[in-house]
A and B are shown apart, each in its own frame.
Chain A
Amino acid sequence: MPSLTLSRITKRFNATTALDGVTFDVAAGERVALLGHNGAGKSTLMKIILGLIPATSGAITVLGAAPGSHAARAGTAYLPENVAFHSALTGLEQVRLYLRLRGEPVGAAMDLLARVGLAEAATRRIGTYSKGMRQRVGLAQALIGRPRLMVLDEPTSGLDPVSRRDFYAILDDLATQGTAILLSSHALTEVEARTDRIVILSKGKMVANDTLAALRRRAALSIRLQVAARPGAADQVAAALKGGRRNGITVDLLCADDEKLAQLGRVTALGPLVEDIEVIPPSLEDLYTHFSRRDGQ
């Protein structure tokens, strides 16, 4: 049974429809990225899953229970976007409070803080923390008690590249142990490598729900060939390949997946005029733009 099941979730705020018939599920041990532009409904969807606000219609099961029920909350960890804490408490005191609220031994607080790299700042007040440090307190509380479902809203915002890598390593660890993970992010490149499936929301509608490879196939976006010409030969190469010149030496070519080899053959035929070639598959950015625009217009 999936850890999280959403079926035709719709949420209306007065006249505006924030979510419109969203249906997907997250299995145990699966990492699902929730993508969408600002106001696409990501945070609203998360709040509904957590039982903070009710859906207007549709059905949700969280760990086999109703959202917001004691059973659902006991197994779910949440990291809100721009997580906030009381500035007068220290990181250690804050995490100890969260441990006690989950009925876990408070002795684990220091370990949790060490795990997110906050051991040294643990006894300082959160008011003195940077945004990235507050975010890491948020991660520490989300790790309490080995949750079975994690809902993470922009979890890596404010984190430096090293912390991001450490963070995803922790997530991989949890996923291996069977934790279902739903996370939203703007950093598409990191999501690309670190998640199993991608759900794209656009203006409250779900426009994609698949693996990255499947989305690539469905979108059938062009592959980009970047041909670097020898100095002075750029015009010649551009004319021969019917491509657009990007700058002094590079020529850009777009081609469909099945034309790729033929195009490469034509490039190699130019021989010494070409210095280098790069094949760039459509990135998640391209896919994201493709799917969210297609539905938006």
Chain B
Amino acid sequence: MNAILAVAGAEARIALRNRWVAIAVVMMALFAAVLSAASSAPTGALGADRLSVTVASLTSLAVYLVPLVALLMAFDAVAGEVERGTLPLVLTYPVRRGTLILGKFLAHLAILALAIFVGYGIAAAAAFLTDPRAAAGLPALLRLGWTSLLLGATFLGVGYAISAFAGRPGAAAGMAIGLWLVAIVLYDLGLLAAVVADGGGTFTRQVFPWLLIGNPADAFRLYNLAASEATAAAAGLGGAAATIPPGRALAVILLWPVAALALAIALFRRVEP
């Protein structure tokens, strides 16, 4: 445990000095502020409080941004050490490889938590300023906060796995961006196209729900939207969200970080410096 904390402390310092902390926080804050400004139009027609609406918008923001920030922090973790030549020495220390990954994970997760807290905090403050009923949306905001962190944890783990697998930072960066594009952007489009082509057949009823919930980003979105009163405001996957029990989505959100980290550690063990 002491070793994990030691690695985490050093990683946090490095991230602070390399401006990664600032970049992550500013990115989240900027997007949250822009979203708040954009959704400041009167919401009377929806009947929901301002914060609940904001949470719905933040959910669709987080699903893109949190995995991106996580992958950007993680892709260099192993490949960068290989490139700089710092890995052989640390691997001769009496420390398990899993400890090194978990130490980096802890530091990166803390940075992510800070960025999420600042970003969502700004959005919440904006909602409270304009709507006295905003407190009704607080449970939804809290839920969004910790599920965002779990989503980030998943993609940190996936990022380390990519980093260990790719071996070089350039290749790792390319693979990380490619994965983000496929898992976050193209995945839903592909599913949508398949559903349209299927025309309500077996695929749509039997396979599609599993494919949808299997993706951590979709599970995140489904869980938050299903539990939120402002589902209608988010549109898009609202229909699908209604057919999948939120408990199943929650299980996926909880399992993915563990699976991703296990994969990362397994791949890191195979690295020969």
For residue A141, CB closer than 8 A to chain B, the reply is: yes
Interface contact A97-B7, CB-CB below 8 Å: yes
- Rounded to whole angstroms, the CA-CA distance of A86 and B9 in the bound complex is 13
Interface contact B13-A85, CB-CB below 8 Å: no
- Rounded to whole angstroms, the CA-CA distance of A101 and B9 in the bound complex is 12
For residue A84, CB closer than 8 A to chain B, the reply is: yes
Stretch at the interface among A69-77, A157-165, A173-181: A69-77
Interface contact B92-A50, CB-CB below 8 Å: yes
Of B7, B13, B84, B94, chain A has the most CB atoms within 10 Å of the CB of B94
With A82-B85, A103-B2 known as contacts, the answer to whether A73 contacts B10 (CB < 8 A) is no
For residue B138, CB closer than 8 A to chain A, the reply is: no
| B3 nearest in chain A by CB position | A101
- For A102, list chain B residues within 8 Å (CB): 93-94
Interface contact B10-A47, CB-CB below 8 Å: no
For residue A93, CB closer than 8 A to chain B, the reply is: yes
- Rounded to whole angstroms, the CA-CA distance of A144 and B95 in the bound complex is 15
- Rounded to whole angstroms, the CA-CA distance of A51 and B95 in the bound complex is 13
For residue A219, CB closer than 8 A to chain B, the reply is: no
Interface contact B91-A52, CB-CB below 8 Å: yes
With A97-B6, A100-B6, A101-B6 known as contacts, the answer to whether A86 contacts B86 (CB < 8 A) is yes
- Rounded to whole angstroms, the CA-CA distance of A99 and B147 in the bound complex is 36
- For B85, list chain A residues within 8 Å (CB): 80, 82-84
- Rounded to whole angstroms, the CA-CA distance of A155 and B10 in the bound complex is 25
A151 → B minimal CB distance (Å): 8
Within residues 32 to 76 of chain A, which ones have a CB less than 8 A from any CB in chain B? Answer: 47, 50-53, 70, 73-74, 76
Interface contact B94-A74, CB-CB below 8 Å: yes
- For A84, list chain B residues within 8 Å (CB): 84-86, 89
- For A80, list chain B residues within 8 Å (CB): 85, 88-89
For residue B90, CB closer than 8 A to chain A, the reply is: yes
Interface contact A52-B88, CB-CB below 8 Å: yes
Per-position 1/0 for A145-162, Cβ under 8 A of B: 000000000000000000
Interface contact A88-B17, CB-CB below 8 Å: yes
- Rounded to whole angstroms, the CA-CA distance of A73 and B91 in the bound complex is 9
| B11 nearest in chain A by CB position | A86
- For A187, list chain B residues within 8 Å (CB): none
A168 → B minimal CB distance (Å): 22
Interface contact B272-A52, CB-CB below 8 Å: yes
A138 → B minimal CB distance (Å): 8
For residue A89, CB closer than 8 A to chain B, the reply is: yes
Within residues 89 to 122 of chain B, which ones have a CB less than 8 A from any CB in chain A? Answer: 89-95
With A97-B6, A100-B3 known as contacts, the answer to whether A86 contacts B93 (CB < 8 A) is no
For residue A98, CB closer than 8 A to chain B, the reply is: yes
Interface contact B92-A76, CB-CB below 8 Å: yes
For residue A78, CB closer than 8 A to chain B, the reply is: yes
For residue B18, CB closer than 8 A to chain A, the reply is: yes
With A82-B85, A86-B84 known as contacts, the answer to whether A93 contacts B3 (CB < 8 A) is no
Interface contact A73-B92, CB-CB below 8 Å: yes
Interface contact A100-B2, CB-CB below 8 Å: yes
- Rounded to whole angstroms, the CA-CA distance of A85 and B85 in the bound complex is 8
- Rounded to whole angstroms, the CA-CA distance of A81 and B209 in the bound complex is 54
- For B18, list chain A residues within 8 Å (CB): 88
- For B273, list chain A residues within 8 Å (CB): 47, 52-53
| B88 nearest in chain A by CB position | A80
Return the contact of A85 from the options B3, B5, B86, B94 (Cβ within 8 A). B86
Within residues 166 to 209 of chain A, which ones have a CB less than 8 A from any CB in chain B? Answer: none
Of A82, A84, A125, chain B has the most CB atoms within 10 Å of the CB of A84
Return the contact of B14 from the options A82, A88, A101 (Cβ within 8 A). A88
Interface contact A86-B14, CB-CB below 8 Å: yes
Interface contact B6-A83, CB-CB below 8 Å: no
- For B84, list chain A residues within 8 Å (CB): 84, 86
| B83 nearest in chain A by CB position | A84
Within residues 91 to 141 of chain A, which ones have a CB less than 8 A from any CB in chain B? Answer: 93-94, 97-98, 100-103, 125, 138, 141
Interface contact B7-A52, CB-CB below 8 Å: no
- Rounded to whole angstroms, the CA-CA distance of A83 and B95 in the bound complex is 19
Sorted nearest first, the 7 A-B pairs with minimum C-beta distance are A100-B6, A84-B85, A88-B17, A74-B94, A73-B94, A78-B92, A101-B93
- Can you give 10 contacting A-B residue pairs, CB < 8 Å? A70-B94, A74-B94, A80-B85, A80-B88, A82-B85, A84-B84, A100-B5, A101-B3, A125-B17, A138-B89
A sample of 15 more A-B contacts (CB under 8 A), given A53-B272, A73-B93, A97-B9, is A52-B273, A74-B94, A76-B92, A78-B88, A80-B85, A88-B13, A88-B18, A89-B10, A93-B10, A100-B2, A100-B3, A101-B3, A101-B94, A103-B94, A138-B89
